[in-house]
Chains A and B, each alone.
Chain A
Amino acid sequence: MDIGTIQAYAYFIFTAFLVVVLYAYIYHLYSSQRKGKRDYEKYSNIALHDEITDQPVEEISKNDEIK
């Protein structure tokens, strides 16, 4: 097998791998939301409610205690 063939195989495998990673990440985002593990959409509120007196969307100390 010459270097060009190896490059071609490596290129194909790498591309296929990255496509799998991309779709796995999309699946992860949507399934976590659906199963109720994490509500990603609520993080939009971090910008909308950003006065210093506003309640944080996820308070840092409270969450750390849960973990």
Chain B
Amino acid sequence: MENRPLEYDYTVAKWFMLTTVVLGIVGMLVGVILAWEMAFPAVNTFAGSGLAEYTNFSRLRPLHTDAVIFGFTLSGIWATWYYIGQRVLKVSMAESKFLMFMGKLHFGLYLLVVVAVVVSLLLGISTGKEYAEFEWPIDIAVVVVWVIWGMSIFGLIGIRREKSLYISIWYYIATFLGIAMLYLFNNMEIPTYFASGGIGAWYHSVSMYSGTNDALVQWWYGHNAVAFGFTVPIVAMIYYFLPKESGQAVYSYKLSLLAFWGLMFVYLWAGGHHLIYSTVPDWMQTMGSVFSVVLILPSWGSAINMLLTMKGEWQQVAASPLIKFMVLASTFYMFSTLEGPIQAIKSVNALAHFTDWIVGHVHDGVLGWVAFMIMAALFHMAPRVFKREIYSKSLMNTQFWIQTLGVVLYFTSMWIAGITQGMMWRAHDEFGNLAYSFIDTVAVLHPYFTIRAVGGTLYLVGMFLFAFNMYKTMTSARRVEESELQNASPMGA
């Protein structure tokens, strides 16, 4: 025991890998149920009318979004942090009892918060703010979890051997600081029970903002939650895992730095595009639009940098399903960061706003970019943390194609549905009377809603294949030597 050579300690990373898989399945399963409910309303009562309160669309919807954002994605971010963080700083968590304890505490408290969130959302306890539905006691717990993660980041940086912080570390720091600021300001709320001297439930609160100000803060938060939850930490992952798995150095490290600062500066101003043609000042709407379009540059800076990292090594895309996942993720990143700015242009937004095209955009980003990258990260990590090869390469390939088909069905159906919807809402006769009632659009959209549900179901099937492959990798795949783990991950047939 005394003379054992120093090794990276992946205990906490493993735990978060587990929650990534489990909460990914939960979040996407709920999403698939919602998609079928949208297509066939009778599904709202699939568990019987007695339980309709818990199974209807409005009760389950926040559970879907929050499970995917704060369950699956956040677990993925932390699993990769506790893996990448040690490696690029060249310091083991085993070297600090304090950091090890904080890592375990981080995971334990996070689990408690997850339970509180699931229970409270199912009971219908909500602040009513999108992606910020948690009531104040949970918000306080979230802040504690976040601070502990911050201590882990800066604690590990404090004892590092590598002087320079690798680009991924910058992105993780930005995630930490960005979400801290956004979460605190958007969730400023007053517990009504205590403020009123005992009226109402103890856990209820009202926001400190109202009306247009509330909308502004909410969408500053909402859009930047996409920035610092779905973009920045995922870029952190691809900057590490793609070079590592392919054995290629980042195409241009300088471009990675430039794209980082560009993204940091531009993203924060783009949230106004959610409020175009609303009551917020016109100049803010214009600013939101302009910054959204400028955002193409730093986003594509990173994405192109990743694709160019594969220069001369494209045969790896055909050979390795793991590289396939990452290259497709990077491609979807380029795709959705072009689509978003197009939707933010005022004249396009007039058509697109409130339609299913927006839902399609979110999902090609999250399913194609975020989830593909997180799964690729876990596939790369698994052989290194479990010291076993990936159980099945052919299962990975199958999963890849099933899920890719799922994403394509999802976003194409939502494009058609969204634009049809937008056109029908605007159509009018020569006297200005609306040509269609709302229910006319619902009837026309039904086939596309069904296709979307099929696409989502395929993606969920892929998630189960992923979970099975990870489980077998953990328990029964062939054991590997350290020498097999240098670059490309070892995979069984």
Q: B254: which A residues are within 8 A, CB to CB?
A: 29-30, 33, 40-41
Asked whether A44 lies within 8 Å of B249 as measured between CB atoms, the reply is yes
- Tell me whether A45 is interfacial, beta carbon within 8 Å: yes
Asked whether A48 lies within 8 Å of B247 as measured between CB atoms, the reply is yes
Asked whether B253 lies within 8 Å of A60 as measured between CB atoms, the reply is no
0/1 string, A14-27, CB within 8 A of B gives 1: 00001000100110
Asked whether A57 lies within 8 Å of B283 as measured between CB atoms, the reply is no
Interface size range of chain A in the complex: 20 to 34
Asked whether A57 lies within 8 Å of B162 as measured between CB atoms, the reply is yes
Among A40, A52, A63, which residue has its beta carbon within 8 angstroms of that of B90? Answer: A52
Bound: A4/B166 CA distance, A = 44
In angstroms, how far is the closest chain B Cβ from the Cβ of A10?
11
Asked whether B283 lies within 8 Å of A56 as measured between CB atoms, the reply is no
Among B92, B243, B283, which residue has its beta carbon within 8 angstroms of that of A47? Answer: B243
Q: B161: which A residues are within 8 A, CB to CB?
A: 56, 59-60
Bound: A30/B254 CA distance, A = 8
Bound: A64/B87 CA distance, A = 21
Q: A33: which B residues are within 8 A, CB to CB?
A: 254
Asked whether A60 lies within 8 Å of B7 as measured between CB atoms, the reply is no
Contacts A7-B283, A30-B254, A50-B90 given: A25-B163 contact, CB under 8 Å? no
Q: A53: which B residues are within 8 A, CB to CB?
A: 5
Asked whether A56 lies within 8 Å of B162 as measured between CB atoms, the reply is yes
Bound: A59/B261 CA distance, A = 25
Asked whether B164 lies within 8 Å of A57 as measured between CB atoms, the reply is yes
Contacts A44-B250, A47-B239, A52-B7 given: A58-B258 contact, CB under 8 Å? no
Asked whether A58 lies within 8 Å of B163 as measured between CB atoms, the reply is yes
- Tell me whether B252 is interfacial, beta carbon within 8 Å: yes
- Tell me whether A2 is interfacial, beta carbon within 8 Å: no
Among B6, B7, B87, B250, which residue has its beta carbon within 8 angstroms of that of A50? Answer: B87
Question: Among the interface residues B164, B166, B262, which one has the most CB atoms of the partner chain A within 10 A?
Answer: B164
- Tell me whether B167 is interfacial, beta carbon within 8 Å: yes
0/1 string, B80-109, CB within 8 A of A gives 1: 000000011011100000000000000000
24 contacts between A and B (CB under 8 A): A25-B261, A33-B254, A40-B253, A40-B254, A40-B257, A41-B252, A42-B253, A43-B164, A43-B253, A44-B250, A44-B253, A46-B164, A47-B87, A47-B240, A48-B244, A50-B88, A50-B244, A52-B7, A52-B87, A52-B90, A52-B91, A57-B162, A59-B161, A60-B162
Given contacts A44-B249, A48-B249, A50-B87, 12 further A-B contacts (CB under 8 A): A29-B258, A30-B254, A40-B253, A40-B257, A41-B252, A47-B87, A50-B88, A52-B91, A56-B90, A56-B162, A59-B162, A60-B161
Query: B residues bordering A, Cβ < 8 Å?
Result: 5-8, 87-88, 90-92, 160-164, 166-168, 239-240, 243-244, 247, 249-250, 252-254, 257-258, 261-262, 265, 283
Query: A residues bordering B, Cβ < 8 Å?
Result: 7, 18, 22, 25-26, 29-30, 33, 40-48, 50, 52-54, 56-60, 63-64
Q: Top 8 nearest A-B pairs by Cβ distance?
A: A44-B249, A58-B163, A50-B87, A46-B166, A44-B250, A56-B162, A60-B163, A29-B254
